[in-house]
Amino acid sequence: MFLKDIILKRGNSKLKITYYSNSQKFLYDFQHIIRAFYPNAEINFGSGGDIHFKAQFEGFNVTIKAQEPGKELAARNFLLTEDEHESKRIFGKNLYDILKALTNKELPWGILTGIRPTKIAYPLVKANMPVEEASKYLQREYYISKKKSLLLLEVAKNEIEVLKRVDSFAACLYIGIPICPTKCLYCSFSCHELNKKIESLLDLYTQALLTELERTYKLIEKNENKIVAIYFGGGSPAVLGVGNVKRIFESLLANLNKEDIREITFEAGRPDTINESLLELLALYKKDFNMRLCINPQTSNDRTLQIIGRNHSFEDIKRAFELAREYGFENINSDVILGLPNEKEEDFQKTIYDVLSLNPASITVHTLSIKRASVLRFKWQDYWFMDEGTVNNLLDWTKSILSEEGYIPYYMYRQKNMIGNFENVGYSKRGFEGLYNVMIMQEKHNIYACGAKAVSKFIFENDRIERVFNPADIQLYISRILNI
């Protein structure tokens, strides 16, 4: 069965669901738990839907009702506590119970709606709670399935081991270049395609980046932070050109303490941006640093690559790997996506086997997210997709295959609108875990971010986080930084 066949409808129209609350409390969870149970319905705040959910808060007393026009379907009345986190969990469990009764469906991640599920597992692992006991706790208190709870605990344990390498003064630096040769069908990131106009701005964009970096170095010094991981992200950073990439590296190494840097990741990404000049430059820095290179096929099926808007073949990916190895790169990560348009179970299995044949140091397995701002969101009806059960089975199969090949799950995150409400997991050979990936997920260290669309995060006492957002538009970013 494919996604088209399981759309919830009334007659010939999409099911319409509304939700209303007289409080701002837990509105995010209210919406997203409903959406997880009804992924293909039209869901809006308000009233008048085919199904209407209402949350009424009166002090600590809460009532949730589910209604059809003229008929009450289910209701729950319960008490919250003075603890905000505990109350959020109580609210989620009661809403989940109503939705489970209405749909006869269970969610693999239960009531969790956040992108960092390992955060709830950290305290259990740090307290040395036995795995079986911790798994039962997660199943009971968050309705997480047994398989997902065991995966969560394993990832949390590995993340904690990675974080032992750094102290409380450690921080990360992100350098964003949100530009790609073409935009992929599933991408909702504010990424600019490399047209003539954008190409004419590359030098100016680099100058703006260097200017922002100069200001950032002063802030890093003021905060007494040590940059331990640097991440060149995108888009495709290589589009800046080798000369501009070199200028950025020279700035970094002239202003940061080289002894602190444990890892530099360069998101080389697609084979159409990887060439000998780039690899020759990066190889110069690989002599002194742990240089982590990302070459991301997403799929090994050429017909799917064309569907998603990538102008290359898997043979091009293989050649990029061979070229990288010629320049001495061993710490290579590869991203793959499960659930791409028109792919069947055997297509994804082929991708995993094909990528394993390249022997990357790490493999990040994403579950397709049909994001609101992506082209796919508006054209998804032109394709068919794997059903949730197949995706779930393939996630289990992938973990089993990668474990047999010596890969461990070391970080995890989740996104909105993922098929089956599942997860993304980074696997690596032991010793090749991406430090930046773990630090940005666990949110215990400052993240300095430069470039258009970049978001810096600063951590304060009691886990308070403040975010600073850069403009997404490249021209606006340039004008703000350079005061043009």
Question: DSSP letter string over 228-275?
Answer: EEEEEESS-GGGG-HHHHHHHHHHHHHHS-TTT--EEEEEEESGGG--
Element (H, E) at 175: strand 170-176
Q: How much is the CA Rg of the chain, to the nearest whole Å?
A: 23
Return d(Cα 40, Cα 217) in angstroms, integer.
46
Q: Which residue has the tokens 């129209």?
A: 13
Element (H, E) at 35: helix 27-37
Return d(Cα 154, Cα 430) in angstroms, integer.
13
Domain parsing of the chain, residue ranges: 3-103, 117-153, 165-479
Please state whether beta strands 13-14 and 9-10 pair in parallel, antiparallel, or not at all (unpaired). antiparallel
Task: Provide the 3-class DSSP secondary structure of residue 456.
Answer: strand
281's CB contacts (< 8 A; 6+ apart) are 242, 245, 246, 249
Query: CB burial class (10 A; 0-12, 13-18, 19+) of residue 350?
Result: middle
Cα end-to-end span (Å), the chain: 55
The four Cα atoms 202, 203, 204, 207 give a dihedral, to 10 degrees, of 120
Return d(Cα 235, Cα 189) in angstroms, integer.
8
Answer yes or no: are the C-beta atoms of 182 and 311 closer than 8 Å: yes
pTM of the model as a whole: 0.93
Supply the pLDDT for residue 352. 98
Answer yes or no: are the C-beta atoms of 453 and 176 closer than 8 Å: yes
Supply the pLDDT for residue 9. 43
Alpha-carbon separation of residue 23 from 35, 58, 232 (angstroms): 19, 9, 41
As a CATH number, domain 3-103 is: 3.40.50.10150
Q: For residue 11, give both structure tokens.
A: 């007659």
Q: Which residue has the tokens 């997404």?
A: 472
Answer yes or no: are the C-beta atoms of 62 and 56 closer than 8 Å: yes
Q: For residue 85, give both structure tokens.
A: 């986190």
Name the class of domain 165-479.
Answer: alpha beta
Q: Which residue has the tokens 């003539």?
A: 196
Supply the pLDDT for residue 188. 66
Alpha-carbon separation of residue 186 from 304, 307, 308, 395, 422 (angstroms): 12, 10, 7, 20, 17
pLDDT in tens, 21-30: 999 999 999 9
What is the distance of C-alpha 224 from the center of its chain? 29
Q: For residue 164, give both structure tokens.
A: 């032992």
Of 202, 214, 203, the closest CA to residue 250 belongs to 214
Peptide bond into 235 cis (omega under 30): yes
Supply the pLDDT for residue 10. 38
Q: Which residue has the tokens 């020759």?
A: 280
Which residue type is seen at 131? V
Q: Which regions in the chain score pLDDT beneath 70?
A: 1-13, 188-190, 372, 484
Q: Which residue has the tokens 């991408």?
A: 187
Return d(Cα 168, Cα 360) in angstroms, integer.
31
Supply the pLDDT for residue 375. 78
Equal CATH topology for 3-103 and 165-479: no
Query: CB burial class (10 A; 0-12, 13-18, 19+) of residue 321?
Result: buried
Supply the pLDDT for residue 190. 64
Alpha helix stretches (DSSP H) within 104-223:
122-126, 131-142, 146-163, 196-199, 202-222
Q: In this structure, what are the phi and psi dihedrals at residue 86, rounded to the nearest 5 degrees?
A: -65, -40
Return d(Cα 268, Cα 192) in angstroms, integer.
16
Q: In this structure, what are the phi and psi dihedrals at residue 123, rounded to the nearest 5 degrees?
A: -60, -35
Alpha-carbon separation of residue 111 from 129, 142, 238 (angstroms): 22, 6, 40
Answer yes or no: are the C-beta atoms of 212 and 450 closer than 8 Å: yes
Return d(Cα 373, Cα 380) in angstroms, integer.
12
